[in-house]
Structures are given as structure tokens and as C-alpha cells.
Amino acid sequence: MGTLVLIHGFPLSARMWEPQLELAEQGWRIIAPQLRGFDGTPSPSSVATSVDDYAGDIIDLLDGLHVDHAVIGGLSMGGYITFALFRLAPRYFRAMVLADTRAQVDPPQAIEGRKKMMAAVHEQGVTAAADEMLPKLVCDSTRTNQPEVVATLRAMMLENSADVVAGAIAALMTRPDSLPLLPSIHCPTLILVGDADAITPPAMSEEMQRSIPGAELAVIADAGHMSNMEQPVAFNRTLSRFLERRV
């Protein structure tokens, strides 16, 4: 099989990928990096403030593990870091997975919103980010029928320090536009998105599919922005079929 690298979203942790660990039963070596400082890991000597910082850390990890090439992907911010990895070191990519993410930079209104969130995090702590993000992360069906998913997401958020979350917000605001990069992605690519994703709606995934040569698109029913946690069976089935056919 090979190695599957899954990069977590904001402001969560690698534990969001626990539903995907069952893919190891098919022979995949799964690496879910804990981004610098997240999930209460020991305070880093410096807080990451750009997607390239995170990408550089993952490159160091892959080199340390002697991974020469892998299927690499991420969800939301993890997708932005995946693009950064491809810009910096495309040689590592055997295939790419982009879940509930987008290639565009933040529009001015979104940047202003992130600045306000950063100020709130500094003043009130990570709870401010959790209170703002949670309502957007899952769809109505998940909120009603899977309250445990919402509780898990909130717990993950609150494990992170204010400084680490503020650094991630800075990375989100300053990430480069990846739209020009898309036509140069020639490895097999799978794009997944929840049909009720309010943060990165399916139309953005459709745009990525049109721009990445040969990319596949899968829309996950009854899922919001956290499609891998809201509908893990459908997500895993789709990812598994892609890996079997294209990798």
C-alpha cells in the first residue's frame, strides 16, 4: 500500500482523524501529524504563523521517518498546508486528498473577521474561537443527531493554547493564493466536501476539480465542514475506493 498523511484543521488536533485510522486495516501506514503546539503538546520554541511553517515541520517529520513519497491531504486548514507542501516539495506526493477546503485566499471581509477572532482569543482565550467556530463546523443534522461529534470538536479546541490558536489564525490570513497552483497538480487527486459545508461550500470544490487535471470530486451527504467526522463511513468508503483505483 503505502503511507497516508492526514493534516488536521483549525483549531483542532490530529485526533480529528481517529475515524480514518481503520484504513490501516487495508495496509496503509497512517501518519496524522500534530501541528506545532496543538493538542496541548509541549510549548514550541516558536509559534507557527504561516502555512509554510507547518509545511516545513511536516517535511522534517517525513524526512525523519524516511518517507520518500506518500498520499498527502488535509481538511480545511490542513488543505491549505497541503498546497503549501506541494509548492515547497512536490516530490513527496504520490497522490493528494483535499477535504472541505479551498484554493482561494480570504476575501477582505473574512480577514477582518479573523483579526477580530485573534483579538478575542488574546483577550478571552480559546473559548472565544470555539464559540465562534463550532456553529459553522457541522451541519444541522449532525447537531441534532450526533451531539457527541459536537462535544468532541469542542473538547479538541479547548486543548489548544491561545498563542498557538492565534498563530494559526495568522497563518490562515496570510496564506498565498493557491488557484494558480492547481493546474500544476498532476498526481491523482481526490476532493471531498460535505453537501452542507457552510465554510467551504461545494461550489469551491467544484472549481478546484475543474482546475486540477483529472481530479475526482465526491460530495458527502448530510455533512458540513467536518465531513470526515460527521459521516465517517461514507468518507472512508470514498477515500478507500480512490486509493484502491488511483494509487
**Using CA atoms, how far apart are residues 178 and 103, in angstroms rounded to an integer?**
5
Kindly tell me the burial class for residue 108, based on how many C-beta atoms sit within 10 Å of its own C-beta (0-12, 13-18, 19 or more). exposed
**Using CA atoms, how far apart are residues 80 and 119, in angstroms rounded to an integer?**
23
- How far from chain centre, in Å, is Cα 82? 8
Mean pLDDT within 90-108: 97
Confidence of residue 14 (pLDDT cuts 50, 70, 90): very high
H/E segment holding residue 71: strand 70-75
Phi, psi of 47 (to 5 degrees): -85, 135
Q: What's at 206, amino acid-wise?
A: E
pLDDT at position 43, please? 58
**Are the C-beta atoms of 182 and 208 separated by less than 8 Å?**
yes
**Using CA atoms, how far apart are residues 130 and 153, in angstroms rounded to an integer?**
9
How many Cα neighbours within 13 Å face the side chain of 166? 15
Output the pTM of the full model.
0.97
**Are the C-beta atoms of 67 and 3 separated by less than 8 Å?**
yes
Q: Please report, in angstroms and rounded to a whole number, the separation of the first and last CA atoms in the chain.
A: 8
pLDDT at 1 over 90: no
> pLDDT tens across 198-233, in order?
999 999 999 999 999 999 999 999 999 999 999 999
Which distant-in-sequence residues (6+ apart) come within 8 Å of 221 by Cβ?
195, 231, 234
pLDDT at position 40, please? 76
**Are the C-beta atoms of 171 and 98 separated by less than 8 Å?**
no
pLDDT at 42 over 70: no
**Are the C-beta atoms of 62 and 54 separated by less than 8 Å?**
no
Could you identify the residue written with the cell 489548544?
Answer: 160
pLDDT at 11 over 90: yes
pLDDT at position 44, please? 60
pLDDT at position 245, please? 95
pLDDT at 45 over 80: no
Sheet holding 2-7, edge to edge: 28-31, 2-7, 70-75, 93-99, 189-194, 216-220
pLDDT at 84 over 80: yes
> pLDDT tens across 103-153, in order?
999 999 999 999 999 999 999 999 999 999 999 999 999 999 999 999 999
pLDDT at position 71, please? 98
2-246: CATH topology is: Rossmann fold (3.40.50)
Report the interhelical angle of 162-174 vs 77-88 (nearest 10°). Answer: 60
Sign of the alpha-carbon dihedral angle for 31, 32, 36, 39: negative
pLDDT at position 157, please? 97
> pLDDT tens across 152-199, in order?
999 999 999 999 999 999 999 999 999 999 999 999 999 999 999 999
Mean pLDDT within 20-30: 96
Sign of the alpha-carbon dihedral angle for 198, 201, 202, 208: negative
